[in-house]
Every structure is written in C-alpha cells, then in structure tokens.
Structure 1
Amino acid sequence: MNDKTPILQVKNLKQYYYPGTDKEIKAVNDVSFEIYPGETFGLVGESGSGKSTIGRAIVNLYQPTSGEIIFQGKSLSSNYNQKERLKFHKEIQMIFQDPYASLNPRMKVRDIIAEGIDIHQLAKSKEERDEKVNQLLKDVGLNSDHASRYPHEFSGGQRQRIGIARALAVEPKFIVADEPISALDVSIQAQVVNLLQELKESKGLTYLFIAHDLSMVKYVSDRIAIMNRGRILELADAEELYANPIHAYTQSLLSAIPLPDPDYERQRQRIHYQANPEILNKEVLTQVKPNHWVAQ
C-alpha cells in the first residue's frame, strides 16, 4: 500500500434511498477506499452501479446514510461553521457529466467561471477578476474573447472546458470528475482527457475519475476500482488490473472492449457475468496480491 498520507478516505460508505421500506435501494453499500495526493483514482462501473453517488457524497451534495468521508484528516460529517464549509468547498470541486445542463444558460462565460472567485473573495477588483478569468480560459484552451459569450454559443467540448475552468477557478486540491467525457463526441474525448492530464501536472491536482469506459480509464488512472450494484469488486493498480483481472465481473467488462484489430475482433469472446445479489452482499474485499484487492 502507498506509504503517503491519503488526501481522501472513504470508510464503509452507505447511501440508501427509502431506507427501511419495501422500496429501499442500496445505491452504495459499504464502500471503502483511499486516494493519495497527486494520483488519479479511477472508479468504473455500469450505469446504476453507485459510482456517481459516491462522487456526489464526497462533494457534499448527498448526505450519506452511514459511513465516513475524511478529507485531509477531517471528517466531512463534522459540524462545520460557515468559514470551514467555504474552505472545504474551495478545496474540493466537481466537473459534471453533462456540459449542456451544468452551465447556466443565462450567464455569460465570464460570470460562470468567476462565480467561485466572487464567493470566496479571491479577487480584489474587477480588473483582477477579469484577469483571472482570462487566464483560466487560456489554461483550458479557450481565449479571452469567449468570456463575453453565452454557453449556447459553444460546442460540447468547449462547454466542458468552461466547466473545467469553473472548477479550477478557486484553486482546488481535489477534483471529482464525474464522467467528464461520456457526453462528448469520441473525437473530442481525447482532447479533454489530455487537458485534464496537463492540468493535473501543472497544478498538482488529485482526481477521482468516474467513468464507465474502461478503455479510456486505463490511460488516465494510477489505480482503478471496479463497482457493481453499489459495491467495489476489485481494486488494483491500472496496469495490474488490465493484465491480471481476477473478479469475473472485471473479466466480463474487459472482454467487451473492442480493439481496432480485425483479426482480434474475429476471435474475441465475450465473458458473460451474472450477478447473484445474495453472494455479492456477502463478498469481502480481500488483498490477494500487493496493491490488488478482490471481493470474494
């Protein structure tokens, strides 16, 4: 295990909807993991697996049913005063999945990006505010002329860049990227991923990268956790997970990844996984190799 102090710890997190009723949904069911400074932690699973729920609980959009989220040594369940809460929201930001729905259509780009700057009083004058916005636009590959436009004037990839600039505006340490490329054209996805990688290096960021596309997650993540039905089934270094998947669900996901190789595609055989909820809820994440855990 990494000997550094984790920047984020998730301990026995549970997020239930309609708890104690016939409609109870266990969106997240006893999940634990740690993320270390400077790494990209990939959280992968199909729709409904609970991965986005975890991301939203981390940024305090959801109040967990039970469990604990610890950021830089302090539990998020603590009773924050206003100053402490502002400091927390400054240090953890989120990039949302849908660049069309996450930007206010009635606000100019300048004001969308500067909203956090205004709330946290990071600019002493209008000139400094505009200078920060222009620099952020430059950082994400746009230019200062874009500041006076509205979101509907941009493509999906450009809107996601605006969303990234907004997240960076308050100089966070940790970013939850909730499927930041899934709503974009394939031709644009690589550009946004490369941008996130460049920003990680230049600004010393740590990412929780949520996705359902295993083929893309491999290239951005240091470690990857595989989720299904609210639980983590396998967690390992990215290279190890792809080279030696152990859980049947991970093997199934990897077998579904297409490759641009006609010979391989003709011989590729899908591995079908049928989950048994009763067995799944009893499986415990166990270390089977150095830095490799599997539910069994």
Structure 2
Amino acid sequence: MAEKLLQIKNLKQHFNVGRPNMVKAVDGITFDIYKGETLGLVGESGCGKSTTGRTIIRLYDATDGEVLFENENVHGKKSAKELKKFNRKMQMIFQDPYASLNPRMTVADIIAEGIDIHGLAKSKKERMEKVYELLETVGLNKEHANRYPHEFSGGQRQRIGIARALAVDPEFIIADEPISALDVSIQAQVVNLMKKLQREKGLTYLFIAHDLSMVKYISDRIGVMYFGKLVELASAEDLYNNPIHPYTQSLLSAIPLPDPESERTRKRKSYDPAIHNYASDEKVEMREVAPGHYVYCSEKELKQYQAQYKH
C-alpha cells in the first residue's frame, strides 16, 4: 500500500458566512493524496478547485474539516516555528506567471526568497550557487539570474515560478492551473519538466486544471469537482474509459477531437443538475462503484452506476 502524504477530510471553505450572499466554494470534500503520485483536480471555472488548493496550503483558513499532512493537522498548527517547517514541505506554483513574480525583484532574489527565509545557504556564494543550479534544473541558465521578470516570456516565467517552489526542497507541490496562461506548445514543455522533476526528486503533486487532455497526461488519479463538491474520483485511465457521473461524462464529451470527421458526428452531452434533486432524507456521499473508483451519489444511484460500469 502506498503511503498517504495528505488526507483531506470533509473540507469546507465558505465565504461571507452568515450573510445572504454566502458562497460555498468548497463544500465538504474528502480525498487522499499518496506519496509520489500526481492527483489531478478538474472542473469548470468557479467549481472550487483553486480554492481547494489554496485552503490546503493555508492561504485561506478552512471553514471546517481537516487537512492532515504526514498525519499532522495543517490548520491546527499555531506556532510560527511549526508553520515555517510546514511551509518548507509544501509549496505552490501559481496560475499567472505574470502576477506571481514581483516585478521589482531580480530572478535571483525571487528564487532565493525561500532559501533566505529558511536559512538554507551559509554564505552569499552558496546562495548564488543554489540559484544557478535551480535555474539550470528548470531549463534556464545562470545568465538569467540578474534579470527582471518583464524580460521573460510566459513560459520562462513559469519556469522561474517552478524554480522558486523547488528552492526549499519541498515534498509536495500544489500546481494551480500552471499552464492555462501559456501557449499550447509551451504547455507541453512545462508539464514534461514537472514530470521529470517528479521522477528525479520524488515529488508529490496536486495538479489543478481544466484542460482534461493535459490532466490525463500528467495524473495518476483524477478528481472531478462541480459546485464545491467532488463528484468522481478514479485512476486517470479508468475515469476516461469509464466516466460514471453524468457531469464527468459531459466534461469529457466536450474535449475536441483532432479528427474533423469524428468531430462532425460526435455527440456532446449536456449536464442537467436537476436530475440530482435528492430527497432531504437521502444520504449522498462518495461511494465506491468499482475498486478505486468513487462517485458522489445516493444508495439508489450506486446500484444504477454499478450496473452501468464496464468491467
């Protein structure tokens, strides 16, 4: 059995609590991430996937639920020393490579920020050596160290963001739509770089995205989110070959095919949330339809989904 690195238990993130305009961005989701794997989290814009990532890493305080990292409750940590230790183990790559880098800092200072905070270099020389090494690790070179972010393309900036995340030797990285702002040709380069780094450094990823084809390429397992709920969770292969929840089927049917003939005749499935108007006494939760394949459903739906599962 693989070791659980992260356990999310009934996580909730509600905004404007107690007001009429309360938003349940994340509404009671539960899942685990195993050491060394990539869990993809997909869903349409506004479904709560980025909020999930930000709540896990404590950019937001959770409204309710637990985030256990190596069996320690992340949201229960109080002392500055404990938080610092946790921040070193978990890092984030942000969606916008333009907004996430300080325009007034050189690339060397951006990458070395974590090294400075955690005291990982004994001298200025060692600090710069680490920066050069990190730049080369992400496919840039040491001449880039004294330049400013505006001198780089989007793909290069995202590589700088990855180098910054790697600077403190984390175990777990949350990649929040790290390729959505990049050209398609650059997207593949960044994802291949992330896969290479994962192999070399034994990293664990939570990869948040809405591009389903790219998520399949990088992920071991995939979770599908809809309006703050996790509606399906399965291995990448199983989810694509055997989507069970009607929303997952609708999402997958929207992936464009590179063949004009089949694209012309292909049927897209629309999703109507009204089909899931549950009775107030029905217990709706993540249930196992097949080994390792979970769907958010009622007891009655479970039997129906099990019957339609293609073994």
Q: TM-score normalised to the size of structure 1?
A: 0.97
3-state SS in 2 of match to 1:7: strand
User: Aligned partners of 1:219 and 1:229: how far apart in 2?
Assistant: 25
User: Aligned partners of 2:46 and 2:75: how far apart in 1?
Assistant: 25
Which residue identity does 1:48 align to in structure 2?
G
- Which shows bigger deviation, 205-214 or 260-269? 260-269
3-state SS in 1 of match to 2:197: helix
- Say which of 47, 58, 61 aligns to 2:59: 61
- Say which of 41, 44, 47 aligns to 2:45: 47
Q: Deviations over 1:152-196 (max 9, x none)?
A: 000000000000000000000000000000000111100000000
User: Aligned partners of 2:158 and 2:272: how far apart in 1?
Assistant: 36
Q: Deviations over 1:122-160 (max 9, x none)?
A: 000000000000000000000000000000000000000
Matched, 1:295 2:293: no
Aligned to 2:287: 286
Aligned to 1:129: 127
Cα distance change on mapping 1:279 and 1:215 into 2, 3 Å: farther
User: Aligned partners of 2:262 and 2:216: how far apart in 1?
Assistant: 19
User: Aligned partners of 1:170 and 1:186: how far apart in 2?
Assistant: 29
Q: TM-score normalised to the size of structure 2?
A: 0.92
Deviation at 1:79, TM superposition (A): 3.4
Which residue identity does 1:295 align to in structure 2?
Y
Q: Aligned pairs, how many? A: 294
Deviation at 1:47, TM superposition (A): 0.6
User: Aligned partners of 2:154 and 2:279: how far apart in 1?
Assistant: 38
Aligned to 1:216: 214
Deviation at 1:267, TM superposition (A): 1.4
Q: Deviations over 1:217-275 (max 9, x none)?
A: 00000000000000011000000000000000000000000111122111111000022
- 5+ residue gaps, structure 1, are none
Aligned to 2:157: 159
Would the aligned equivalents of 2:58 and 2:75 in 1 still touch at CA under 8 Å?
A: no
Aligned to 2:249: 251
Aligned to 1:146: 144
User: Aligned partners of 1:295 and 1:210: how far apart in 2?
Assistant: 20
Deviation at 1:280, TM superposition (A): 11
Which residue identity does 2:257 align to in structure 1?
L
Q: What is the aligned-residue identity percentage?
A: 64
Q: Deviations over 1:193-231 (max 9, x none)?
A: 000000000011000000011111000000000000000
Which residue identity does 1:72 align to in structure 2?
E
User: Aligned partners of 2:51 and 2:97: how far apart in 1?
Assistant: 18
Aligned-CA RMSD value:
1.3
Aligned to 2:103: 105
3-state SS in 2 of match to 1:77: helix
